[in-house]
Amino acid sequence: MEEKQLKTEEKKATVKVWAKRTGLFLLAVLVALQFFQPAKNNQSMDMANDIGKVVAVPENVHTILKTACYDCHSNNTNYPWYANIQPVGWWLKDHIDEGKEHLNFQEFALTEAGGRFPTKALRQDHQLEEVAEMVETGEMPLTSYTLIHGNAKLDAGERKMIMDWVTSARAELSNNDRQQPAEVTKTEN
């Protein structure tokens, strides 16, 4: 009986030692991760190619976009304090990179034709269509973003403002595209 109790106590002591070692190892890894910071998305606030240069953006809508969208969909992110704690900073960088890949409001004028979009205006129209869909369904801004950035939550009125703006912006793009001369593609003989 005493032998069983002794073995049980030895097992508990061994588990405690391994738990302590594992905890210390994980803490050391977490500390080491802090030395590997991802690059920040703070390129510039240059608005030369901003969406407002392509289509009219009322000031109230632009303010909403800057508050609710630009941190992930522009070249300049206002980072929260926890962005410097890894691996959270890497997770944020991934979200921002993915957001900019889909739509960068600051580079909207630089959008190029290609793939299933034969004209620049058609690709831009598609991007605006996606904005409308994401805002209408509540997919954007992300819930994980609005939990910390309460001012980025869109109420029904703000959603309607964005939806109305997207409708007029798409009409403006369509009108501008019809007025542009057809692009000529050179072919080699």
Residue 146: predicted pLDDT: 83
The mean pLDDT of the chain is 84
Upstream peptide bond of 87 is cis (omega within 30 degrees of 0): yes
pLDDT tens, residue by residue, 27-71: 887 777 677 777 776 776 677 888 999 999 999 999 999 999 998
Q: What distance in Å separates the CA atoms of residue 109 and residue 47, rounded to the nearest whole number?
A: 10
Residues, the chain? 189
Residue 180: predicted pLDDT: 62
| Three-state SS at 42 | strand
Residue 184: predicted pLDDT: 43
Q: What distance in Å separates the CA atoms of residue 151 and residue 72, rounded to the nearest whole number?
A: 15
Local structure of residue 70 (DSSP, 8 states): T
Name the residue with higher pLDDT: 105 or 82: 105
Asked if 114 and 123 touch (Cβ cutoff 8 Å), the reply is yes
What letter represents residue 168's amino acid?
A: S
Tokens representing residue 32 in the block: 């080491």
Furthest CA-CA distance within the chain: 96
Please enumerate in sequence order all residues whose Cβ is within 8 A of that of 9, keeping only pairs 6 or more positions apart, or say none: none
Q: What distance in Å separates the CA atoms of residue 53 and residue 47, rounded to the nearest whole number?
A: 8
